Amino acid sequence: MTVSAAILAGGKSSRMGTNKAFLEVRNCRIIDHALDELKQVSNDILIITNTPTEYHRFSVRVAGDIYPGFGPLSGIHAALTHAENNRLLAVACDMPFVEANLARYLIESVKDYDVAIPVVEGYFEPLFAVYSKSCIKHIERCMEKKKLRIIDFFSSVKVKYVKEEEISQVADLERVFYNVNTPKELAMAKRIFKESEVSSQDSE
């Protein structure tokens, strides 16, 4: 299935104090890793941001929110609107362990659904999920009513809930959805990466 992919980079990073997309966790910035992984599953990649000048250096399309001020829901709406393909994989800009394997699995899972979203320990992971353009009108209705949780429009569409048992077969559940909002979480992410590097070296 041909899909578009988008990195949502519209947040204010108020708790971190700096743009989270440009933080280094691995041996590169978070956004560099995300782009590398997404390029393995899509040839139409966007960065959705309200500070476009920060991202023009990247060789992908950059677009802003059509309805600014509505948070990640607005980012997904903008990404779907600008996407060249009917379906879109959306990921957050502050997830340092995005994996192409999980992206592929979600893309394969969506089939005739409007959304394919991971559910881990009862919690939705809407910022590493697949959405269809058929969601656009339902998202717009939610924004009109100021219902801004991403899951608020799910009752109006057909949703595939991807369970953790499935996800664990293709990705590391302990880290694939990890995101960094604070300096403490950034330090933990760096520790997780170093430990995984040591573990992989020991197994060689």
For position 141, what pLDDT does the model report? 97
Which class does domain 4-203 fall in? alpha beta
Both tokens of residue 6?
């988008």
For position 197, what pLDDT does the model report? 73
For position 203, what pLDDT does the model report? 53
Q: How far is CA 170 from the centre of its chain?
A: 17
* Contact between 189 and 178 (Cβ < 8 Å): yes
Q: Running along the chain, 204 residues long, what does each successive block of 10 average in pLDDT?
A: 92 76 92 97 96 92 93 96 98 96 97 97 96 98 96 97 96 93 93 77 53
For position 18, what pLDDT does the model report? 86
For position 201, what pLDDT does the model report? 54
Distance set, CA 22 to CA 9, 92, 95, 203 (Å): 10, 13, 11, 31
* Contact between 141 and 92 (Cβ < 8 Å): no
Cβ contacts of 34-37, under 8 Å, gap ≥ 24: 34/7, 34/91, 34/93, 34/95, 34/98, 35/7, 35/60, 37/98, 37/99, 37/100, 37/103
pLDDT tens digits for range 74-88: 999 999 999 999 999
| Residues in Cβ contact with 172 at an 8 Å cutoff, skipping those fewer than 6 apart | 97, 99
For position 44, what pLDDT does the model report? 97
For position 26, what pLDDT does the model report? 85
Cα gap 133→87, rounded to integer Å: 6
